[in-house]
A and B are shown apart, each in its own frame.
Chain A
Amino acid sequence: MQQHLLIPQHFDHERPGLLLQLLEEHSIPVDIVNLAQDSISKADISKSSAVVALGGPRLTIPIEPWEGNLKT
């Protein structure tokens, strides 16, 4: 599995900022998904090695359908 990071983004003006700097520094591939325009599927999260939601609480809403994927 290719290491890959998925970052859901809710608001257009919010950016991964410091995290993106680190990702670029280490040449780590990342998908930034704008939830205002795009959706995230179970397949998206399955191919990701980790997920971090930054910012507002609405970012947690898409996590709900992924419950099965996130259980230990």
Chain B
Amino acid sequence: MPDKRNRLFDPDGNRYAVKLSQQGLNDPLLSSIPATVPVFQLHGQTVELNERIILLGSGAGSQCRNQIVKVGPKAYGLQCHFEMTPALFSSWLDLDNDLRNMNHDCLESEFAEISERYLSIGLTLFRNFLRLAELICDPLLNTETKPFSELI
């Protein structure tokens, strides 16, 4: 399990980050995303890979290693919380059992340091996902267009 004192830094004081694999760098979901991104980590487990899962991004060290996975042409799992917003972060401080007992001033200050970049990365990633899902238009993105039901 990760250090319970903080969800932004590991026990050695290094900021939690996810590094994209070569497949991640080439995947449309992660287009225009930096090769290494800081993450907020609210978990101590990791996804176990199998031959059907493609690893797109991983954390450093042995904890929470497999963070971004692809399980189908338009199916992804994101263990790191790119959906995080400042409002969501604040609500979790009171709702999550681990976060409730941490120093909230410290956590909010440390999250504020990365929040602008984090939001920018999250927006880029989710826009990529919505383009990939054909839920918003992007003539520049060339992706598979069949729905799941036609991919069997």
Residues of chain B contacted by A23 (CB below 8 angstroms): 130, 135
25 examples of A-B residue contacts, CB within 8 angstroms: A3-B133, A3-B134, A5-B135, A15-B83, A15-B88, A16-B83, A17-B84, A17-B85, A18-B119, A18-B123, A19-B83, A21-B85, A22-B130, A28-B130, A28-B136, A45-B148, A49-B135, A50-B133, A50-B134, A51-B72, A51-B75, A55-B78, A57-B43, A69-B152, A70-B151
Asked if residues A26 and B126 are in contact (CB atoms below 8 Å), the reply is no
Interface string of B18-62 (1 = CB under 8 A from A): 000000000000000000000000110111100010000000000
A69 touching B72 in the complex, CB below 8 Å, given contacts A18-B82, A18-B83, A57-B46: yes
Asked if residues A46 and B83 are in contact (CB atoms below 8 Å), the reply is no
A63 to B96, CA, bound (A): 25
Asked if residues B78 and A54 are in contact (CB atoms below 8 Å), the reply is yes
B71 at the interface (CB under 8 A from A): yes
A67 touching B133 in the complex, CB below 8 Å, given contacts A17-B85, A22-B127: no
Residues of chain B contacted by A28 (CB below 8 angstroms): 130, 135-136
Among the listed A3, A46, A55, A70, which residue makes an inter-chain contact with B81, where contact means beta carbons less than 8 Å apart?
A55
Smallest CB separation, A6 vs chain B (Å): 10
B interface, CB within 8 angstroms of A: 42-43, 45-48, 52, 69, 71-79, 81-85, 87-88, 91-92, 95-96, 119, 122-123, 126-127, 129-130, 132-136, 144, 147-149, 151-152
Asked if residues A69 and B149 are in contact (CB atoms below 8 Å), the reply is yes
Residues of chain A contacted by B83 (CB below 8 angstroms): 15-20, 54-55
Listed residue (A5, A50, A69) with the most chain B CB atoms within 10 angstroms of its CB? A50
Asked if residues B147 and A49 are in contact (CB atoms below 8 Å), the reply is yes
